[in-house]
């Protein structure tokens, strides 16, 4: 009897990925090892590959994040979105250079090039999901250069949030409550807006953290348009459950804590992730998601803080945890660390 499909996440080098020759790959994201790492590597024919310009820590060659579905998958394109879909899930990616929208600086609506690029990316994503009948966004990753820089009258992250929320509204999508897990990071390297995502045919369970104000309810001091994401989502795939934890940082309530202290921020972030695991285990009815079983992607603002962050995570997760470290700017300038995570748990059908 054929085993039911199961979602898999692997972090590995480009050489390891190429030698694996998996037949069930949904999609890949690559992360550059250094400023001098050169142009993006081409992906295998038909497999969507998001090229993210966030350096790997410590300096290394390209690292791949590989999503596999445990069953045959089929590739396609819709506008600028490249995607690959299985029976239950779709992986897609899109890259929009802001130079494509250079005229936005004089747009009659006051929209910046980043806002134009964000609106274009999200409209194309939603059009793809509608055309392929995968209506539910489960997890979204957003990477934009210089996320904390002020230009065109406001911080670029605020501009991104405004454009994302406006695109959600324009496409008839919720902008709070039933919104996907997500991350938004700033690359220290120049490049396009890159968005990649997972979508499904069935709506996930949307989870919030009791230690934190929901991001879509933040007070206006964090921007005129709130971030549109849930703290985590829980989705069924085959006979298993997939947990997607959004980018999580040292925030309690809505305030950043432990300013300037990377180690303390890491500990607070882990406490927030533990709270989300407890929420997931209550919602999943029998699942036992644990810290040690997570695959984590850790964003560190200052490379010099890497040993401190690693020591805290080794103590919390154990030495065998699946973790990659990237240099990236966090959405708030006072945050030094952000952690996202994913886990799969087998459940009875």
Distance CA 273, CA 268 (A): 9
Q: Can you state the percent helix, strand and coil of the chain, rounding each to 5?
A: 30, 35, 40
Q: What's the residue count for the chain?
A: 349
Q: Which two tokens stand for residue 37?
A: 């790492």
Active-site entry in 71, 132, 338, 340? 338
The CA-atom distances, in angstroms, between 116 and each of 19, 86, 125, 328 are 39, 31, 14, 23
The CA-atom distances, in angstroms, between 54 and each of 29, 60, 72, 100 are 11, 12, 31, 22
Place of tokens 């795939």: 237
Q: Which two tokens stand for residue 124?
A: 């194309």
Q: What is the sign of the dihedral through the CA atoms of 299, 198, 52 and 318? A: positive
CB atoms within 10 A of CB 86: 22
Beta pairing partners, 85: 74, 90
Q: Which two tokens stand for residue 27?
A: 């999609």
Residue 338 annotated as catalytic: yes
Distance CA 333, CA 198 (A): 28
Place of tokens 């979508």: 199
Query: What DSSP designation does 98 have?
Result: G
- Beta-sheet pairing, 181-187 with 136-145: parallel
Catalytic sites, residue numbers:
338
């Amino acid at each position: 009897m054929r085993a039911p499909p199961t979602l898999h996440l692997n972090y590995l080098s480009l050489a390891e990925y190429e030698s694996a020759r998996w037949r069930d790959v949904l999609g890949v994201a690559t992360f550059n090892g250094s400023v001098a790492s050169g142009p993006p590597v081409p992906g295998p024919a038909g497999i969507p590959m998001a090229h993210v310009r966030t350096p790997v820590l410590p300096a290394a060659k390209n690292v791949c994040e590989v999503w596999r579905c445990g069953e045959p998958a089929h590739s396609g394109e819709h506008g600028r979105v490249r995607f690959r879909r299985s029976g239950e899930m779709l992986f897609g990616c899109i890259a929009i250079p802001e130079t494509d929208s250079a005229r936005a600086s004089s747009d009659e609506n006051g929209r910046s090039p980043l806002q134009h690029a964000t609106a274009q990316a999200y409209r194309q994503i939603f059009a793809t999901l509608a055309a392929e009948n995968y209506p539910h966004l489960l997890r979204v990753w957003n990477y934009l250069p210089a996320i904390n820089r002020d230009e065109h009258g406001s911080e670029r992250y605020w501009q991104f949030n405004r454009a994302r929320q406006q695109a959600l509204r324009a496409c008839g999508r919720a902008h709070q409550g039933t919104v996907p897990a997500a991350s938004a990071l700033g690359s220290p390297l120049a490049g396009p807006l890159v968005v990649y995502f997972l979508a499904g045919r069935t709506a996930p369970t949307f989870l919030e953290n009791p230690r934190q104000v929901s991001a879509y309810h933040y007070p206006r001091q964090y921007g005129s348009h709130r971030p549109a994401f849930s703290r985590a989502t829980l989705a069924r795939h085959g006979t298993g459950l997939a947990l997607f934890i959004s980018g999580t940082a040292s925030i309690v309530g809505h305030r950043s804590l432990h300013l300037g202290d990377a180690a303390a921020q890491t500990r607070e972030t882990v406490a927030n992730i533990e709270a989300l695991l407890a929420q997931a285990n209550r919602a999943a009815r029998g699942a036992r998601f644990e810290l040690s079983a997570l695959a984590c992607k850790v964003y560190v603002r200052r490379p010099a803080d890497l040993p401190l962050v690693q020591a805290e995570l080794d103590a919390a997760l154990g030495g065998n945890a699946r973790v990659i470290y990237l240099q990236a700017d966090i959405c708030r300038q006072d945050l030094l660390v952000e952690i996202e995570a994913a886990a799969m748990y087998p459940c009875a059908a």
